Structure 1
Amino acid sequence: MTSYLALVACTGMAEESICYGTTADGRLQNGAKLPASGNNFEGYSGVARLAGRSYVHSQVREIILAAYKELETSHPLKVYKYAEAGFKDGGQFKPHKTHRNGLSVDFMVPVLDSNGKSVQLPTNPFNKFGYNIEFNNSGHYKNFTIDFEAMAAHIVVLHKASKQRGYDLWRVIFAPELQPYLFKTQYGDYLRNNIVFSKKRSWVRHDEHYHVDFEIPCE
């Protein structure tokens, strides 16, 4: 009985986030921290987590975790890694131009090793926590290959989890020259019909990660 009451108390203390403005000019109230890891995912940096760079809107957190949970069943041999999110109160998030209101999240591309096994892309201070990695136009970097099937599956379940909660994905930013590989997967038709991919080359290439903006009403 005591543990039940404690659970209720903790649940009651959790406040829903409120986002303000836009991803490029906004802020966040009651940001929710992403967990350091789960059964099939992990964060890109413990240092960044301690620096408070892993906060999102509470609904975005629910969507992300629901998607990972679904992938445990649909793709049990795949592992995933999230990267930059935002600050607890949002606001300017250098060096990013967005990530200001809790609705923007970067995800490192899932990769296969030379044996075709799903592994985590190495992220550490020596490669700017993964952001300094450069894949070629075929999706290769050293002995790693982008797992486009796993990436496409992740985007699909993020979209479905968003729609189930009455929300959507606004856009996905990923290197335009690598996008065709996503459309060649079994999820190609779904991606074409449901996901808006930015066709413009961004100020950074977005080859080692894909940026997802969630569509949730803000004040």
Structure 2
Amino acid sequence: MRLTLLFTTLSFLGCSQNEITKLKTLKKPNTKLSTYIQQNQNNSLVSQSLGSVSNGSLKNGKLVPFHGENYSYFDKTSYLSGRAFLNSKVLSTILDGYKKLATTQPNRNFKIMECAHKHGGKLWPHRTHQNGLSVDFMVPKTKNKKPYYGLDTLGVNHYWLTFNNQGQYNKDTSITIDFESIAKHLLILKKQAKKHKLKIQKVIIKVELKDELFEGEYGKKLKESGIYIVKSLSPTINALHDDHYHVDFKEM
């Protein structure tokens, strides 16, 4: 009896110790990430976007928060490599947009993709993203008509995902792009941009996806909104814009 009790006690203590170790591991902060964020704390200085999105630079660039209530940056390596900076007005526009989405699309999470270097300039392999006025957004997805996040953790490899012209993931057609969510987001960005004396200069998305994008209720509103969505792209650039949509802002 005593022997059984001893084994039971030891087993319990062993399990408890394992659980404590797991909790400590979970609570252990990502010191590299937190140090980087601390070293790049945003100040109150207004950003200056010089030149153009394809040949420019950025002064007083602001670091995008790694995560918020309903959004997060898509890749830690990209983030720590200094590729998540924006013009202060663009950052405010995007964050205000996510606040609005928290009420219009509650319990939905979104991903910000690559932005710009702290001082702008070339951001390989992008042709733009040079002056803090460009940002990529990961396409939101559904599976069986429910929000789906199974592909959102691929990091930079998400850029290499392929979707057919109906917005279905090529390796699993039950996973589709949520076009209505994109349309809602772009309409919100337009309103928020105006508050910060910006406008959406253009949106880049695979041109064959535009019919699907404009099909729904909010898609129809988007089509009539005056937001310019590219009509043609080179084959290479077109093929690379099915997993995300690119937005260029312009200061008014």
- Which category of TM-score, normalised to the shorter sequence, fits these structures? 0.7 to 0.9
| 1:196 counterpart = 2:224 | no
1:100 alignment partner in structure 2: 130
Alpha carbons 1:111, 1:120 under 8 Å: kept: no
Aligned letter for 1:136? N
Which stretches in structure 2 are left out of the alignment for 5+ residues?
1-40
TM (normalized to structure 2)? 0.77
- Give the conservation status (yes or no) of the 8 Å contact 1:32–1:88: yes
- Counterpart Cα distance in 1 of 2:245 and 2:199: 17
Q: Is the 8 A contact 1:80 1:108 kept in 2?
A: yes
Deviation at 1:195, TM superposition (A): 0.8
Matched position secondary structure for 1:69? helix
Moved more, 57-66 or 208-217: 208-217
- Tell me the percent identity: 38
How far off its partner does 1:115 sit? 5.7
Counterpart position of 1:67: 97
Of structures 1 and 2, the one scoring higher in RCO (CA 8 A, sep 6+) is: 1
CA offset at residue 119 of structure 1?
Answer: 2.7
Letter in 1 for 2:218: Y
The RMSD of aligned alpha carbons is 1.9
More helix by share: 2
The correspondence of residues 177-216 of structure 1 with structure 2, limited to 5 A, is: 177-193=208-224, 194-202=226-234, 203-204=236-237, 205=239, 206-216=241-251
1:62-96 deviations in Å (ceiling 9; x for gaps): 00000000000011132211101010000011100
Question: Which runs of structure 1 show a deviation greater than 4 angstroms over 4 or more consecutive aligned residues?
Answer: none
Instruction: Measure, in 2, the Cα distance between the counterparts of 1:166 and 1:17.
Output: 13
Per-residue deviation, 1:166: 2.3
Aligned residues of 2:179 and 2:219 also touching (Cα < 8 A): no
Partner of residue 83, structure 1: 113
CA contact (8 A) 2:92 2:196 kept: no
Distance 1:176 1:26 in 2: 26
CA distance in 1 between counterparts of 2:203 and 2:142 reads 22
Question: What SS does the aligned partner of 2:207 have?
Answer: coil
Could you tell which deviates more after superposition, 29-38 or 178-187? 178-187
| In 2: Cα distance, 1:63 partner to 1:94 partner | 25
Structure ID, larger Rg: 2
Residues 118/76 of structure 1: CA separation in 2 closer, same or farther (3 Å cut): farther
Structure 2: distance between partners of 1:176 and 1:110: 17
Letter matched to residue 139 of structure 1 = G
Distance 1:106 1:12 in 2: 21
Secondary structure of the residue that 2:247 maps to in structure 1?
A: strand
User: Counterpart in 1 of 2:84?
Assistant: 54
SS in 2 for 1:187: helix
With the length of structure 1 as denominator, give the TM-score of the two structures: 0.88
Is 1:175 the counterpart of 2:203? The answer is no
Contact 2:60 / 2:119 at 8 angstroms: preserved in 1? yes
